[in-house]
Structure 1
Amino acid sequence: MIKSIKLLRNSTTFKLAVAAGVSFILYELATFLFPILLAIGLAFALYPVSNMFSKITVGQGTIHLSRVVAIILAFMAFGMFMFFAVTFILLPLFGQINDLVAKLPDYTTKVESTNMDWLLKDPSQYPRLPYNFETLIDDAMTWVMGFMGGILRNLFKSTMDIIANLVGLIVVPFLAFYFLKDWRELRLMMINLFTYDTQPKVAHILDEIGRTLSAYIQGLGKLSLIAGACITVGVAILGIQFPLVFGFLAVMAETVPVVGPLMGAVPAVFIAYSQNTSSAFSVALFYLVFYQIDGNILMPRIMGSKIDLHPVVLILSLLIGAKLYGILGMLFAVPVAAVYRVLYKELWHSSDEPRPTETEQ
C-alpha cells in the first residue's frame, strides 16, 4: 500500500494534476493574493535598505539600531521616494499621456502624408510597388496608432485601477512591515506545516525561492530606475516631446523580457518621426545603443543568472499573464514563472530513485 502511494506520488500524472490544481487555486484567488504579492515584493525591495539602516557608521564608530527601528527608517525613505515620484513624475506623466493620446491621430496623419509625399513624388522610381501600396500604408499607420494607443490606454487603466483599489492596498505596507520584521518566524511556521522528514527539503525550496525573488525584484528595481532615467533624459536631449511617457514605457519594458525593448522603442521612434523625420534615426540609434548596454552589461552585472528561464518560457509566461490579467499579469509573469521553475527543479524529479546521469540518459 505504501509503495503504491509512493509510486502514485512520483508519477507524472499526479504531479501534473497537483500543478494544475495549484494554478487553478492561484487563478481563483488572484484578487485576494494581489496585495499579498505586492507586500512580498515591497519587503524584498526594502530588505537591503533596512539592513543598511541597521548599521550606521558615524565617524570611527558604528551605531547598531534595532530591527524594528531600521525597518521604520526604510519605510520613511520609501515614503519620501514615493512622495517625490508622485509629485514630480507621476502627476506630470498623466498630463503627458493625455496630451499624447489626444495628438495621436494628428501624428498618424502627418506620418502617413509624409510617407506618401516621399514615395509618390516620382512614382517611376518605384516600379515594383504593389498597386495597393497606399492602402497598405494606411493599414500600417492604423495598426501603429492602435498599438500605441492600446499600450498607453492599458498603462493608464492599470494605474487607475491600482489607485481605485487604494483601500485594499492600504494593507500592503503593514504586511510588508511584518514580513520584514518576522520573516524568520514566518519561514519556520511554514516549514513546521510539513512532516519532519520533508522539512529540510521544504526549507531548501523556500530559501531558493527567496534568493531567486530577491535577486529579481532588487535587480529589476535598479534596472528600471536606470532605464527610466536614461531614456527620459536621452529623449529630452534629442528634443522629442513627452519624455516622461517614454521613460515610463522604458520602466515597464524592463519588466517584460525579450519583447520589452521593442515595445518601448517603437512608440518613441514613431513620435520622433511624426515630429521631425530626421530625428527618428537618432532616436532609434539611441534606443539600440542603450538596450545593447542594458542587455549585455547592466543586466548580467545587476540581475545575474538567478532568473534562468529560456526565452520561449519567458514569452509564453508573458502571453499567459497578459491574457489573464493584462499589464499586471505581465508584471507578475516572470517572478511566478521563476517560482514554478524552482518548484519544478526541486520537486518534479523528486523520488526515492536516483536521477540518471547525463551519460545514462
Structure 2
Amino acid sequence: MIRSIEVWLKIIIVLSGIYILSKATPIYLPIIVSIILAFILNPMVDTLSQWQVKLLNRKLGRGIAILIAFTVTSLVIAITVTFIVVPFIHEFDNLVKNFPGILKRLQRLTIVIQERVETIAIAKQLPNVFEQLTSSVTTFSIDLVRKIINSILNFATGIVEMVIVPVLTYYFLKDWKYIKESTVNLFSQRSRKKINSVIEEMGSVISGYIRGQFLVCVVIGVLVFCGMYSFGVEYPLVLGLLAALTESIPIVGSIIGAVPAVLLAYTVEPALALKVIVYYIVINQIENQIFVPKIMGSVIDLHPIAIIISLLIGGQLFGIIGMIMAVPTAALLKVVLKHLWITEEDR
C-alpha cells in the first residue's frame, strides 16, 4: 500500500513538473544559452583551473578560472560586435534596400538566357523556374537573417536575461559535479549507476557536438566570406554569416547557404555563378572529408537516415530552430533509449 502511494506521488510530481515547464517557456532561452556557453567555456576553465600559481603555491582554482574565462569571452564578444556584427547589420540593410534591383537584374538575365535557348522546349518554363527559385530562396534567406537579427536585438534588450545568463553559466561551470550528483541521488541506489552513466554520456555527446559545430560554423563562415570577397560577389559578410548559420542544419544547410551567393553572382554574370558553385562544392568536400571527421569525430554517431528523419520532424514541429536542434536531440534520445532498453545482461 505504501509502495503504491509512493509510486503515485512520483507520477504526480513528474506530471506537475512537465506542466509547469510547458507553461514557463520564456525561461528556456536564458537556460539554453547558459548551458551552451558552459559547454563552450568548460575546456578553457578546466585548463586554467589547473595552472600552478607560484606565489600562492597552489593551483589557480575553478572560481578564478571562470572569471578569467568570462573576461576573455567578453573581450571576444566586444571585438565581434565591433568588427563583424555592426558591419553585417549595415551590409544587410543595404541588401534589403537593393533587393528589388537585384530581382530585376535576375529577371533581365533570365530573359536573355531564354532568347538564346528558345529552341529548347524547356526554355519556355525557364523564367517561371528562376522567378520561383529566386523569390522563395531569397525570401527564405532574408527572413532567416531577419529573425536572427530580431532575436539578437530582443535578447540584448532583455536586461533581466542578460544578468541571468552569466550567473547561470557561472554556476553550471562551477557546480556541475554537484548538480549531477544531486540529480543522481534523487533515484534509488539500484538505479544510480545507470543514471550516472546516462548523464555522463549525454554530457559528452552534447558538449562535443556544441563545440564541434561552433568551430565548423566559424570555419565555413570565414571561408565563404573570403571566397565571395575575392570573387567580387556583393555582400560577402552577409553571405559568410548566412553560411555559418545554415551550417548548423545538417545535410541541407550548406545548400541553403549557397543558393543566395549563386543568385547574387548570377546577377553579375553566369560565369561568376559557375565559379561560386564550384567554390561551394570544394568547401563542402573539404568540410565532409577533413573538418567534420577531425572536429566532430564520432560524437553524434547517427545514421544519415536517422538524421534526415529527425530534420523532417524538427522542421515540421518548430521550423528552422527545430531543424537546428533536431540532430543533437536525436543523439540524446539515442543515449537514453540505449540505456533504457539495453540491460547489463545484454551488454
Aligned 8 A contact 2:114 2:123 in 1: no
Give the deviation of 1:54 after TM superposition: 2.4
Partner of 2:207: 214
1:53 matches 2:48: yes
SS at match of 2:140: helix
Partner of 1:275: 268
Q: Report sequence identity in percent.
A: 32
1:100 matches 2:88: no
Aligned 8 A contact 2:117 2:123 in 1: no
Counterparts in 2 of 1:68 and 1:288: CA distance versus 1, 3 Å: same
1:44 pairs with one of 20, 32, 39: 39
Counterparts in 2 of 1:90 and 1:134: CA distance versus 1, 3 Å: closer
Partner of 1:338: 331
Give the deviation of 1:205 after TM superposition: 0.5
Give per-residue Cα distances to partners, 1:300-340, cap 9 Å, x unaligned: 11111111223333334334444444444333333222211
Partner of 1:147: 140
Give the deviation of 1:133 after TM superposition: 4.8
Aligned 8 A contact 1:158 1:327 in 2: no
Tell me, in whole angstroms, the C-alpha distance in 1 between the residues paired with 2:140 and 2:96. 12
Letter in 1 for 2:338: K
Alignment TM-score, normalising by the size of structure 1 = 0.83
Runs of 5+ consecutive residues of structure 1 not aligned to the other structure:
2-18
Partner of 2:236: 243
Counterparts in 2 of 1:135 and 1:265: CA distance versus 1, 3 Å: closer
Letter in 2 for 1:73: I
Counterparts in 2 of 1:255 and 1:22: CA distance versus 1, 3 Å: farther
Partner of 2:81: 86
Runs of 5+ consecutive residues of structure 2 not aligned to the other structure:
2-13
Partner of 2:152: 159
Alignment TM-score, normalising by the size of structure 2 = 0.86
Letter in 2 for 1:280: A
Give the deviation of 1:56 after TM superposition: 4.3
Tell me, in whole angstroms, the C-alpha distance in 2 between the residues paired with 1:263 and 1:234. 17
Tell me, in whole angstroms, the C-alpha distance in 2 between the residues paired with 1:63 and 1:85. 35
Letter in 1 for 2:227: G
Computed over aligned residues only, the root mean square deviation of the Cα atoms, in angstroms, reads 3.2
Q: Identify the range of structure 1 (200-209 vs 50-59) with the bigger mean alpha-carbon deviation.
A: 50-59
Give the deviation of 1:108 after TM superposition: 1.7
Letter in 2 for 1:227: I
Tell me, in whole angstroms, the C-alpha distance in 1 between the residues paired with 2:222 and 2:81. 15
1:287 matches 2:312: no
Give the deviation of 1:28 after TM superposition: 4.8
Q: Identify the range of structure 1 (161-170 vs 272-281) with the bigger mean alpha-carbon deviation.
A: 161-170
1:159-178 correspondence to structure 2 within 5 Å? 159-178=152-171
Tell me, in whole angstroms, the C-alpha distance in 2 between the residues paired with 1:331 and 1:139. 25
Aligned 8 A contact 2:49 2:60 in 1: yes
Tell me, in whole angstroms, the C-alpha distance in 2 between the residues paired with 1:20 and 1:260. 37
1:34 matches 2:47: no
